[in-house]
Amino acid sequence: MRDETPRVRTLALDVPGWPGHRAGQHADVRLTSDDGAVAQRPYSIASAPEDPRLELTVSLLDDGEVSPWLAREARPGDQLELRGPVGSAFSWHVGDGGPLLLVGGGAGLVPLRAMVRHRIAQGAATETRLVVSARTRDDLLYAAEHGDWIAAGVSLEVTLTRAAPRRRVDAALLSAPSAGARPHVFVCGPTAFAEAAAEHLLDLGHAPERVRVERFGGALKSTNSIGFAKSR
């Protein structure tokens, strides 16, 4: 159990019989309260398939039902019910090749971290660009690992939305793919973030079938919808 930020915690789980997963997939966590009420939510798997334990990184929503227990109350030795892995469309294996363009907002970095760790564990040289949006530098997840990612050849760009120099992920930051390059693109984060980033990517000329989007929920800021299916 590790605090990533004051509001985000990583849980490391021993899962007997876990069948293995592809980087990017998620698991459904089911909690049963003392009075028998059941709540189930999906959480991306933060660890690479090669890691010894299954890790989930949970961001606290103050008025949430499940995240406060996972991010605040869970203690070592507690047991969880887990179903998965789920969501093979939003997943990557080194054998799928590259280049990789990973775009994460807030906790949306979680499944992208699994992909980066998988690439590193496999010793692959897949061209990888990771664009991360966080509120402030203190909200950046896995900051202690970023040096290792960069040393392994991952190009990491961080943009902060609530600290100078404030900037949201925009088309210029994502920049156009070079001619002939057809990166595998994975976008993940709160719904409004994911929709906006995906729209920029399509405007930049990325092929829709190469852009996979995982939306974590939360209100949409606008009612627009874009023309490709959810990855799940």
Summarize as ranges the residues that interact with ligand FAD (CB under 6 A): 26, 41-44, 57-59, 61, 63-67, 107, 110, 190, 214, 216-218
Distance of closest approach, residue 74 Cβ to ligand FAD, in angstroms: 13
Which residue, 61 or 156, is less far from ligand FAD as judged by CB? 61
C-beta of residue 105 within 8 angstroms of C-beta of residue 188:
yes
DSSP 125-154: ---EEEEEEESSGGG-TTHHHHHHHHHTT-
Q: Is 1 exposed, middle or buried (0-12, 13-18, 19+ CB in 10 A)?
A: exposed
C-beta of residue 197 within 8 angstroms of C-beta of residue 105:
yes
Distance of closest approach, residue 123 Cβ to ligand FAD, in angstroms: 26
Which residue, 159 or 191, is less far from ligand FAD as judged by CB? 191
Which residue, 98 or 215, is less far from ligand FAD as judged by CB? 215
C-beta of residue 211 within 8 angstroms of C-beta of residue 201:
yes
Distance of closest approach, residue 122 Cβ to ligand FAD, in angstroms: 22
Residue 57 CA to residue 43 CA, distance in Å, equals: 8
DSSP strands (E only) in 45-152: 54-59, 81-86, 100-105, 128-134
Distance of closest approach, residue 175 Cβ to ligand FAD, in angstroms: 27
Which residue, 42 or 97, is less far from ligand FAD as judged by CB? 42
Which residue, 42 or 99, is less far from ligand FAD as judged by CB? 42
Which residue's CB comes closest to ligand FAD?
64
C-beta of residue 17 within 8 angstroms of C-beta of residue 75:
no
Distance of closest approach, residue 90 Cβ to ligand FAD, in angstroms: 7
Distance of closest approach, residue 25 Cβ to ligand FAD, in angstroms: 9
* C-alpha angle 1-26-189 in degrees, rounded to nearest 5: 90
**Beta-strand relationship, 8-13 and 2-5:** antiparallel
Which residue, 28 or 127, is less far from ligand FAD as judged by CB? 28
